[in-house]
Amino acid sequence: MPDETLTAADADTLRERLLAARDAHAAAEADIKSIGEESVVAAADAYRKAIRLLDNYEESAVGTGDFQAYVEFQDKFLGLVEELPEELPDREAFEAAADRMDRRRLRERDFEGARADLEAAESYVEYLDHRTETKEELTEARRDAKLLLKDTDSRISELERLVELGEADVDAPVEHIRDPIDRYNEAVSEEFQSFKQSESAQEVLSVVEAAEWHSLVEFRSPPRDLREFVRESPDADEPIPTLLEYADYTGSKLDHYAEDPAMLQTSVAVHRTYLERLDADPLCVSFPPPSAETLRRKANELVSVLDRFASETTIAALRTVRELTRRDDYDRLRTAARARTELTDAELERLRSGAVETELHELREAHDKLADALSEADG
């Protein structure tokens, strides 16, 4: 769940930032378009090359120290300017710099002057850099908006849940659905524990593996080597508690009890925690229970699993739970049960004061405005 401090103001602030980033990027694009994309790129490229030459040759081409560097610099710099298109914006700035550098001996102030001549062309680099910066800010604002919309969706769902629970009849007789669920859960827990204690590991894990076909019966799958053990080892005919006891034996003692000691050690001993924690919890029904449709589906799946080991009494208790979903007041009782167990005192107070409804209204409105702004920015 998102941070509960998330407010409509957060969404409004981000919407303003997103729209500002969109406008800034549009303005940067318009500035370049007014001059011409190709012209701006060409002028910026020429400026960068010219400045790079000035920086690279300033020390070596000054004075009489390195004649070869001087010749090489002049050839490159003057050649660069000569090859510039006639229609290049601020071409005269490059020509002024070239005229300044076209002399027999170069001084440091000539390089400084050339940089000053080229300042007019520097703006084209700034145009491109500014467009890149505004593009990055717009991309970041879009990303943040999408993330905040997800958080806002979650917060809205949470507030809607509170409103729904706030409308519940907390005095409703929830024991009408709680008691049958408790009776079933107690019965299946005891029966599965007995099944695990007395039947072979192969039988118990076959039930767990069969449950994998049912999405609402969420047993943790047995590790692969345990699956191989119950399929291949004759020791899998022993109950799980017996195998766990064997796993504690020393090698010489284990040889007297297990037909395949090595496989038992590598399969059972290393998965002791899994086997010890294996219980009926995935076969139980939660309270408050799920929606009527989900409970019916889970009950149908559970019947298929229970048929493999449970008594008719336990299965009958499950069918009684399934029949609860056909009660006219099931949803009302379920919501009342949820309200009793899920609402805190602080949430109840906010519901009574109307603060939850106010926050929900403001957050929905801010969410829609931010979504519209994001759609505009993406367009």
In this predicted model, what pLDDT tens digit does every residue of 175-196 receive, in sequence order?
999 999 999 999 999 999 999 9
Dihedral in degrees, nearest 10, Cα atoms 148, 153, 154, 158: 130
247-248-253 Cα angle (round to 5) = 90
The CA distance from 46 to 97, in Å, is 12
Dihedral in degrees, nearest 10, Cα atoms 59, 64, 67, 72: 40
In this predicted model, what pLDDT tens digit does every residue of 254-285 receive, in sequence order?
878 877 888 888 888 889 999 999 999 999 99
**Using only C-alpha atoms, what is the Rg of the chain?**
38
pLDDT score for 66: 66
pLDDT score for 51: 87
Q: Is residue 332 pLDDT above 70, yes or no?
A: yes
Q: Is residue 55 pLDDT above 70, yes or no?
A: yes
Q: Where are the domains of the chain?
A: 8-133, 144-169+343-378, 173-219+279-328, 224-277
In this predicted model, what pLDDT tens digit does every residue of 248-261 receive, in sequence order?
887 788 878 877 88
Q: Is residue 351 pLDDT above 90, yes or no?
A: no
What is the per-residue burial (b if ≥16 Cβ within 10 Å, else e) of 73-103?
A: bbeebeebbeebeeebbbbebbebbbebbee
Tokens linked to 154:
């979650």
The CA distance from 80 to 47, in Å, is 10
Average pLDDT over residues 9-30: 93
| DSSP E strand boundaries for 117-235 | none
pTM: predicted TM-score of the whole model, two decimal places = 0.59
pLDDT score for 250: 76
User: Mind giving me the DSSP string for 1-19?
Assistant: ---TT--HHHHHHHHHHHH
Query: Does residue 376 or residue 227 have the better pLDDT?
Result: 227
